[in-house]
Structure 1
């Protein structure tokens, strides 16, 4: 995915430091998940992009996108990383008035798939009807994108037995027959192939879910309104890091080993998602439209109304 880039770290340090002196909140807490989607974030942290903007960024690891969002709503974190559905569901249900502040990833070919193992009764997507499918939670990307792909192929998902399993445990669950198939993103696709002989049933990057907006960063509307300079500094750092990550895979691989806790071989083999940082309302509208179509939200949501101020580096 093409990303609007900014100047390399170094020439901008004095300007950024000056801008950083007026930040409302120079110590920033971000709730994250240990996935490959965080590559540019870790690069911004490890490469000094945040510090160049006057930010000291701490992370809080969450168990899921919903848990990450909850940390932002409660004030435990300032900014939350999540797949997009929880942001829109929180808005729809009135749980929180969330603003999207930066993009993170989109579905790329071979980055998200429905997988199975050789001894499973599932051989093709048409075998999924009425089977046990592992996902992380209902109304998450794993649930919605699985149903979307099945719907595209005319496969009835109404009788599927959805098995809720954390991502790190899904490969073992497939091996033990607890599920017949599962939705997996990278790096879990590559890891499950190595440990359980998992094979893709279908790539998620097809039909209605091709290039689908997958993950991003959000904060409460109140936090966004109270911290405009801090938000702008975060966005500038993320844009610089995303530009580098998109153009230099080698800058990301060692960070995945350190922070996503995957081995070097997996880091070299896995397919990276499409990294992005700037939010586009037309592209993001696909998320609430799919949520509405699949019954996850009761009323339409205008994605543009949830996009916070954007600063270009």
Structure 2
């Protein structure tokens, strides 16, 4: 198990150079904040198999309780790289809280991996019947309500009267069972777990139509750090890319889900996985701030091409 670390290197890294096989890096030490989610399986695979070390990187893992907390650690200079869902990064950028750049992709929504679920006896049966209902999400202006609004709009449903109720993913199943909410936006493995524990049933997939294969999470850094460390960024990307390719083998991933995301072994075997990604595609990623803008999450359009780190091309 990776232990949480108290102190981290300040933004900018150390002055020591790597002696790795890919040439000297601007810094060999990188601190990365993460949390226990299943789409971090390729990251743990890279750590476990020494892919970061092969690239001359000494990666320090810093645990965070949520994506927002991970981003806060980055903004405060506690870590060099933060993993998290994309929406908080764009909201922070739009508010001027920090100048951010993405250094690697992590995942996009695969079929049935992000869904609205309800209890079997609920009258929530489709997007239209979600109008005016109490819907559990982690918080507003996140992928949860943004994807839900998109699907409702596509299906001619009015989301303006939806009551968004902030509940952590692990607590949503119990809230559904008690009747505290009428439906819940869930990601895996919580969808599978809720079905097993309280009998929750899927209502609709939120990654369909305009939101099919929607980018869900990635790794970001402060722009200054990315600009000053292009070789280290490239090394980080190469290690993640290698692990992500290997993550196509589900048998490699399931044990990591159990160990690091604390997913029950049976649930891990049944879970619909997100699509693991590593390479940043500017056009694909532009979909996130564009959707946030459409639903009022950010006040003006953000140009993703200016927020993607440019790694050194030499290796």
Provide the TM-score with structure 2 as the length reference.
0.90
1:69 aligns with 2:71: yes
**Distance of 1:39 and 1:311 partners within structure 2:** 26
1:201 matched to which residue of 2?
203
2:83 matched to which residue of 1?
81
Does the aligned pair in 1 maintain the 2:21–2:54 contact within 8 Å? Answer: no
The 3-state SS of whatever aligns with 2:22 is: helix
1:277 matched to which residue of 2?
278
1:252 aligns with 2:253: yes
1:154 matched to which residue of 2?
156
Matches within 5 A, 1:200-239: 200-239=202-241
The 3-state SS of whatever aligns with 1:18 is: coil
Does the aligned pair in 2 maintain the 1:236–1:311 contact within 8 Å? Answer: no
Does the aligned pair in 2 maintain the 1:16–1:53 contact within 8 Å? Answer: no
Cα 1:57/1:121, change in 2 over 3 Å:
same
1:19 aligns with 2:22: yes
Does the aligned pair in 2 maintain the 1:16–1:52 contact within 8 Å? Answer: no
1:294 aligns with 2:282: no
What's the CA shift string for 1:196-252, capped at 9, x where partnerless?
111111011211111111111100001112222221211110010011112x11111
The 3-state SS of whatever aligns with 2:21 is: helix
Does the aligned pair in 1 maintain the 2:230–2:311 contact within 8 Å? Answer: no
The 3-state SS of whatever aligns with 1:96 is: coil
Provide the TM-score with structure 1 as the length reference.
0.91
Which sections of structure 2, spanning at least 5 residues, go unmatched? 1-17
What's the CA shift string for 1:54-94, capped at 9, x where partnerless?
22222222232222111111111111111111111111111
User: How big is the shift at 1:142?
Assistant: 0.8
The 3-state SS of whatever aligns with 1:17 is: coil
Which sections of structure 1, spanning at least 5 residues, go unmatched? 1-14
Cα 1:84/1:61, change in 2 over 3 Å:
same
Which of 172, 179, 182 is equivalent to 2:181?
A: 179
**Distance of 1:275 and 1:304 partners within structure 2:** 21
2:108 matched to which residue of 1?
106
Number of residue pairs matched? 297
Aligned alpha-carbon RMSD (Å): 1.7
